[in-house]
Amino acid sequence: MSNMYGYNDYDGPHRAMARFSLEADDEDNPLQAGFWMEGDSLAPPCGTAVPTIHRMLDFAQVSSKDVVYDLGCGDARVCLEAFARKKCQSVGVEVEADLVSRGRELIARLNYVDQERLPFIIEQDLRIVLRNLVRLAAKATAPTEQSDDIGALPLPTIIIMYLLPEALAELEDSLRELLRLLPESFRILCNTWGLNSLVPQQRMDVKEEGGAVTPLSIYTRKSL
């Protein structure tokens, strides 16, 4: 059975979440788990299996009080699962317009009364968003690389990333600044690839169906 994300290993996080019909056996569907899309993105869309997302959320001890950011969110499945399982705020950042549209359509189909708690997706370069989060955390007067969405962003309590090593290297300075500026409870969870200049405080390997292993790492201020 195809689920809202377009693959058949999981049937959706919550009955209140409407399904989005996709062809689960379509080999050209870029939202399938484990499928890489060609391009110059820092985070080529590669769907994380939903059971793995659940393990990620539990590993990072996400609660309803958290504000979760997913940098390179694809179709927003991490944000949707964080909302469905933990009832927390979540913000996805994605530069690919088609994936932003897909994620926003999935969010619009949610049957939930409190609209302010629904996930929010920003169509923007994640580097710009991250730099402006640093400025907001430092209580700067205003972001210098303004977009319609960035000025009103909530500060994250956790950032989740499934990015290529070269992308992570480019972001490390900003991430280190956030670890210094935000409360000690702020943490960063990396899926598969980690941050070379930081020491992970926790590690876990998630065993996928078929035998593959996905390493997860958590970084906190103690990682500096």
Q: Is residue 24 a part of any domain in this protein?
A: no
Terminal-to-terminal C-alpha distance of the chain: 45
Residue 26: left (phi > 0), alpha (psi -120 to 50), or beta?
A: beta
Q: Is residue 34 a part of any domain in this protein?
A: no
Provide the pLDDT for residue 58: 97
Q: Is residue 11 a part of any domain in this protein?
A: no
Q: What percent of the chain has pLDDT over 70?
A: 72
* β-pair partners for 205: 215
Provide the pLDDT for residue 36: 40
Higher pLDDT residue, 147 or 108? 108
Query: Which one of 104-108, 121-125, 143-147 scores highest in mean pLDDT?
Result: 121-125
**Domain count along the chain:** 1
Q: Is residue 6 a part of any domain in this protein?
A: no
Q: Is residue 18 a part of any domain in this protein?
A: no
pTM of the entire structure?
A: 0.82
Range in 26-30, 76-80, 161-165, 185-189 the model is least confident about? 26-30
Q: Are strands 213-219 and 202-207 parallel, antiparallel or unpaired?
A: antiparallel
Q: Is residue 171 a part of any domain in this protein?
A: yes
Provide the CATH number for the domain around residue 94: 3.40.50.150
Q: What percent of the chain has pLDDT over 90?
A: 52
What is the rounded CA–CA span in Å between residue 118 and residue 173?
30
Residues in the chain: 224
For the segment 201-222, what is each residue's pLDDT rounded down to a tens digit?
A: 999 999 987 888 999 999 999 9
Range in 39-43, 91-95, 121-125, 151-155 the model is least confident about? 39-43
Provide the pLDDT for residue 222: 98
Q: Is residue 41 a part of any domain in this protein?
A: no
Angle between helices 50-59 and 77-86 (to 10 degrees): 60
For the segment 41-85, what is each residue's pLDDT rounded down to a tens digit?
A: 676 556 788 889 999 999 999 999 999 999 999 889 999 999 989
Answer yes or no: are the C-beta atoms of 148 and 122 closer than 8 Å.
no
What is the rounded CA–CA span in Å between residue 93 and residue 80?
13
Nearest Cα neighbor of 62 from 94, 85, 33, 44 is 85
For the segment 95-119, what is each residue's pLDDT rounded down to a tens digit?
A: 888 889 888 988 887 777 666 778 9
Provide the pLDDT for residue 143: 52
User: Quick check: 15 pLDDT over 90?
Assistant: no
Task: Give the amino acid at 151.
Answer: G
Mean pLDDT, the chain, as a whole number?
80
Please give the average per-residue pLDDT across 165-169, as a whole number. 92
Which residues form the domain of 157?
Answer: 50-223
Q: Is residue 128 a part of any domain in this protein?
A: yes
